[in-house]
Structure 1
């Protein structure tokens, strides 16, 4: 079994870690608010999402948004604007709460009652690698049936656990050449 790449890009190969591509795809499926938090519309959308119920408020506080109800009300009414530090906290709390809220639904969509989801591996970009050093790496597909650890690590925003779960629960099923797909240009799946 190949080891993990230790000097990726030494000869000019370009790509990203597979778990980072999976996190991006899961973020797309989660449907985050597109308007940035720095614009009034994006700020209000996030604040409404975080304050619409008592459960949402408690989750936001647990995620790091620790301002008073009075301050939240002033932000919502437009009498005050949050500082840059508070904008970062609002964004972080929003993403944490949103991931927790959609993870169960995403898990059901991806597992599909044991049928799993087809994943497309787009190999790394070797256009800058000298010809004699290039590997033959093909586009591959794989049906991933167990998404539990992957989605849990994504929802917790734990990149180390996500990397381990992605390698051990999905990529390893590619066979003896799974190390060639540790870095990719893209990971595609639709659920």
Structure 2
């Protein structure tokens, strides 16, 4: 069985490579060509460094997408909701990097400052990981905390407990009679 799982993981990685390699390559090649021809040659060492870092970060996110595809177990749902898009945070990172790359070409060479979103997003993810949508963080930063929903959940729990108690009483009555 372990061999079959390894083969499935390798097949998923290969399929992801065939899908994402042309996309990431085209995005990076297009960025470099636009950077050279649209803005003239790389003007300063700083712009070369930022461009190199952006391309390197997109390669890093590509590798993360491949690893996520390899480690993702297909979601088989009875409802037919479809599968979650594999790629996770690496796919989000690739989208943000593409926005920044093309923003530096078309909008402003200083558009890379939008990458300041990453630490804020990371802090938010850490906060929700440790505090979640209940406890200290209830109602903060979009976390649950609707008292009417909590009352509805308690009411449905009370109804379920009442049904359970009635069934238990019926069983006891059958035992006493029988």
TM, length-normalised to structure 1: 0.28
Question: Greater helix share, 1 or 2?
Answer: 2
Structure 1 or 2, whichever has the larger Rg, is: 2
